[in-house]
């Protein structure tokens, strides 16, 4: 097909959705088609049908779809009156609902391929033969129009591409993503769990996960200390009054957990740390000489998410932010903003994110105030200072001001949003914050909100997928496993393990009676960076046989050389 007639991927995928609905009409005439849009990487179509679609059904549908694609039916559209549309779909309440809701004056169109006609706005390939390659992937439940009051439908997902080569490449990317899925690795490596009896979206960190979290926290603390931040700690539950003053009840209530009544007072779980830090600032008088003040907290917050959207560690109801709030004079704003950008870069580098993108999010035009310009200028200048290119999102700002989002791409190129830095003139005014300036007048400080890793839960989930569970040695929960070939070298293995522990490493001594091959396979599946084996010769020479993750060749070196090597690797965060 010549390029100028080649459909776009969304057109091709939406056409594939029609082809799927055609196949369903042929094989499962009882199923009522509803809607079938194109989505990222593919398409879906929702059907109302009592019996569930099985894996077998998907295969039969794929075969029928293949015939429809090969027949190369032209996509034929025609405009109709509302009455004609209503008549055409009189047995399908979903299509009827759509037909009745199309606004007066807008065209109503029907599109046909072969014997199948759908009510649709358009955006198709010219014929079904344009679909180069496709595959049906899964079936899931979905409420009609996403509303849980409505009937539950069956959503068949598929993917479609211009060529078989594109489809194959996509499927192998998908497989790689599944291999790295943090929910799967979290269980296999015993890092964390979500417990049904405790409720969805609330994370239990197991010992190995908590070790990694501790390392992340220490890394962050170190940077904060060097930059003059002061740690603070605030309550998880406070009077609702606080969030009335802050504006969260007005602007953020749908993301908050509901009120909790105690002794005629209403409390709320903390959705953000800012109001708490503001109370600490407000509790004392401040002179311009005290500023900037930088309060930091690993602050745990709770936000309401619908049960349908929660996902492992990356979308949860309770999480801990590496949060901090800076209070400064307008003159200090740019410098303070710059140092948060510097700190963000230190974090991204240490955790192996080389592809970082910055987005300046402005408030929607009708929400902008004169201070937005001051804030935006500070953000732009900070980025220019480090020659960091950035994009602009015209409406993505927070309810109290513009912000900078820090996005990364992981090892397999998937984008993630991590940190956010926001400039805020609103909350200091709402809480009537003050400092006494050099001229003796009381003035309002500016606030910067910043969380660079974002949520530790989400950050950990991203790291698990970024590294595929194979954490670099400085982060790995177990850095070294020591094991003996046979009983005779057991006490030597213990000595080696003790020496490494004494040097501050995280060591596991494997004294099980399993065969060596079995033990090595086991620790490899646990993705441990180093397995040290001690046999007869090693005991005599005072050496260890090093089996290093990702390195085919084994080598025998002295215990002291190994200690030196690992120390250097941990110090340089490899």
Phi, psi of 298 (to 5 degrees): -80, 85
The nearer residue to Zn ion, 19 or 507, going by C-beta atoms, is 19
Number of H helices, E strands in the chain: 18, 28
**What does R_g of the chain's alpha carbons equal in angstroms?**
29
328 labelled catalytic? no
Is 410 a catalytic site residue? no
Query: Do residues 446 and 330 lie in contact, with contact meaning Cβ atoms separated by under 8 Å?
Result: yes
Q: Which is nearer to Zn ion, 139 or 326 (CB)?
A: 326
Q: Which residue among the candidates 14, 95, 182, 449 is catalytic per the annotation?
A: 449
- Of 43-51, 303-311, 447-455, 466-474, the window that binds Zn ion (rule: CB under 5 A) is 447-455
User: Three-state secondary structure along 417-453?
Assistant: EEEEEEEECHHHHHCCCCEECCCCCEECCEEEEEEEE
Instruction: List the end-to-end C-alpha distance of the chain, in Å, as a whole number.
Output: 50
What is the closest distance, in whole angstroms, from the C-beta atom of residue 148 to Zn ion in the complex? 27
Q: Is 409 a catalytic residue?
A: no
- The catalytic position among 325, 363, 519, 527 is 325
Q: Considering the complex, state which of residue 120 and residue 344 has its C-beta at the smaller distance from Zn ion.
A: 120
Interface region with Zn ion, contact rule CB under 5 A, candidates 19-27, 78-86, 113-121, 381-389? 113-121
**Region of 253-261, 367-375, 445-453, 511-519 interacting with Zn ion (CB under 5 A):** 445-453
Q: CB-wise, 213 or 277, nearer to Zn ion?
A: 277
With b for 16 or more beta-carbon neighbours within 10 A and e for fewer, the 352-377 pattern comes to bbeebebbbbbbeeeebeebbebbbe
CA distance 99 to 555: 72
- 294 given a catalytic annotation: no
38 vs 314, which CB is nearer to Zn ion? 38
Which residue in 64, 124, 155, 321 is the catalytic one?
Answer: 321
Which tokens belong to 384? Answer: 């220019």
Q: How far is the CB of 126 from Zn ion (least distance, A)?
A: 13
**Cα gap 54→316, rounded to integer Å:** 30
Query: Using an 8 Å Cβ cutoff, are 374 and 424 in contact?
Result: no
Catalytic one of 18, 32, 155, 403: 403
Question: Are 505 and 479 contacting, i.e. CB atoms less than 8 angstroms apart?
Answer: yes
344 binds Zn ion (CB under 5 A): no
Question: In this structure, how many other beta carbons lie within 10 angstroms of the beta carbon of residue 151?
Answer: 13
CB 410 within 8 A of CB 176: no
**Active-site annotation holds for 434:** no
Pairing state between β 507-510 and 543-548 = unpaired
Pairing mode of beta strands 76-80, 543-548: unpaired
Q: Is 274 in the site for Zn ion (CB under 5 A)?
A: yes
State the minimum distance, in angstroms, from the CB of residue 120 to Zn ion.
Answer: 3
CB of 438 to Zn ion, least distance (A): 28
The least CB distance from residue 424 to Zn ion, in Å, is: 8
CB of 271 to Zn ion, least distance (A): 10
CB of 379 to Zn ion, least distance (A): 16
* Among the listed residues 449, 458, 519, 527, the single contact to Zn ion using CB under 5 A: 449
Residues 275-294 that bind Zn ion (CB under 5 A): none
Residue 462, number of CB atoms within 10 A of its CB: 24
Give 484-498 as a DSSP string.
ESSGGGHHHHHHHHH
Q: Which stretch binds Zn ion (CB under 5 A): 198-206, 241-249, 343-351, 448-456?
A: 448-456
Catalytic residue selected from 57, 118, 208, 274: 274
Report, in Å, the least distance between residue 248 CB and Zn ion.
10
| Angle at CA of residue 194, ends 188 and 196, nearest 5° | 120
User: Would you count residue 120 as binding Zn ion (CB under 5 A)?
Assistant: yes
- Of the candidate spans 114-122, 173-181, 284-292, 463-471, the one that interacts with Zn ion by CB under 5 A turns out to be 114-122
Burial 382-414 (b: 16+ CB within 10 A, else e): bbeeeebebeeeeeebbebbbbbbbbbebeeee
**Rounded least distance, CB 124 to Zn ion, Å:** 5
Active-site residue, 303 included: yes
Q: Decide if 79 contacts 121 (C-beta within 8 A).
A: no
Q: Of 208, 248, 303, 519, which residue is the catalytic one? A: 303
How far apart are the C-alpha atoms of 130 and 69, rounded to whole Å?
Answer: 8
Q: Has 321 been annotated as catalytic?
A: yes
Q: Among the candidate windows 50-58, 176-184, 227-235, 449-457, which touches Zn ion by CB under 5 A?
A: 449-457
Binding track, positions 405-444, relative to Zn ion; x by CB under 5 A: ----------------------------------------
Q: Find the binding residues for Zn ion in span 155-174 (CB under 5 A).
A: none
Q: Under rule CB under 5 A, how many of the chain's residues touch Zn ion?
A: 3
Residues marked active site are found at 274, 303, 321, 323, 325, 403, 449
Q: Which residues bind Zn ion (CB under 5 A)?
A: 120, 274, 449
């Amino acid at each position: 097909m010549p390029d100028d007639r080649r459909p776009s991927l969304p057109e091709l995928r939406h056409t594939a959705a029609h082809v799927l609905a055609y196949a369903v009409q042929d094989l499962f005439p009882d199923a009522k088609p509803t809607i079938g849009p194109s989505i990222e990487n593919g398409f879906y179509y929702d059907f109302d049908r009592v019996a569930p679609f099985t894996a077998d059904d998907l295969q039969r549908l794929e075969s029928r779809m293949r015939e429809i694609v090969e027949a190369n039916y032209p996509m034929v559209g025609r405009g109709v009156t509302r009455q004609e549309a209503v008549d055409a779909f009189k047995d399908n309440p979903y299509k009827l609902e759509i037909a009745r809701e199309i606004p007066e004056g807008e065209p109503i169109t029907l599109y046909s391929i072969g014997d199948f006609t759908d009510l649709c706005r358009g955006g198709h390939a010219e014929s079904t033969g344009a679909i180069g390659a496709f595959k049906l992937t899964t079936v899931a439940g979905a409420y009609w129009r996403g509303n849980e009051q409505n009937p539950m439908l069956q959503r068949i997902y598929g993917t479609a591409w211009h060529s078989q080569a594109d489809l194959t490449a996509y499927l192998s990317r998908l497989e790689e993503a599944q291999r790295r899925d943090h929910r799967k690795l979290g269980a296999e490596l015993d890092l964390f769990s979500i417990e049904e009896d405790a409720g969805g979206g609330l994370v239990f960190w197991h010992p190995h996960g908590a070790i990694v979290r501790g390392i992340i926290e220490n890394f962050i603390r170190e940077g904060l200390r060097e930059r003059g931040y002061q740690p603070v700690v605030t309550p998880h539950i406070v009077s609702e009054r606080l969030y009335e003053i802050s504006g969260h009840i007005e602007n953020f209530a749908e993301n908050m957990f509901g009120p909790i009544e105690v002794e005629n007072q209403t409390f709320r779980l903390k959705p953000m740390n800012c109001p708490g830090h503001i109370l600490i600032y407000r509790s004392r008088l401040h002179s311009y000489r005290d500023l900037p003040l930088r309060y930091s907290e690993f602050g745990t917050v709770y936000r309401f998410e619908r049960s349908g959207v929660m996902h492992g560690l990356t979308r949860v109801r309770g999480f801990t932010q590496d949060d901090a709030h800076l209070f400064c004079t307008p003159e200090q704003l740019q410098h303070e903003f710059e140092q948060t950008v510097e700190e963000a870069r230190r974090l991204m580098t240490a955790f192996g994110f080389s592809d970082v993108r910055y987005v300046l999010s402005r408030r929607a035009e009708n929400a902008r105030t004169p201070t937005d310009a001051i804030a935006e200028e500070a953000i732009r200048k900070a980025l220019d200072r480090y020659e960091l290119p950035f994009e602009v999102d015209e409406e993505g700002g927070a309810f109290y001001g513009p912000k900078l989002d820090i996005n990364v791409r992981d090892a397999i190129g998937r984008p993630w949003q991590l940190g956010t830095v926001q400039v805020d003139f609103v909350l200091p005014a709402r809480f009537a914050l003050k400092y006494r300036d050099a001229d003796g007048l009381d003035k309002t400080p500016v606030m910067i909100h910043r969380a660079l890793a974002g949520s530790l839960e989400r950050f950990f989930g991203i790291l698990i997928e970024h590294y595929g569970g194979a954490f670099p040695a400085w982060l790995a929960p177990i850095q070294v496993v020591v094991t003996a070939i046979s009983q005779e070298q057991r006490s030597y293995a213990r000595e080696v393990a003790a020496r490494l522990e004494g040097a501050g490493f995280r060591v596991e001594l494997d004294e099980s009676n399993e065969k060596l091959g079995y033990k090595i396979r086991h620790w490899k599946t646990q993705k441990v960076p180093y397995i040290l084996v001690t046999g007869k010769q090693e005991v005599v020479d005072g050496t260890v046989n090093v089996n290093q993750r990702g390195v085919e060749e084994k080598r025998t070196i002295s215990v002291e050389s190994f200690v030196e090597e690992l120390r250097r690797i941990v110090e340089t965060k490899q």
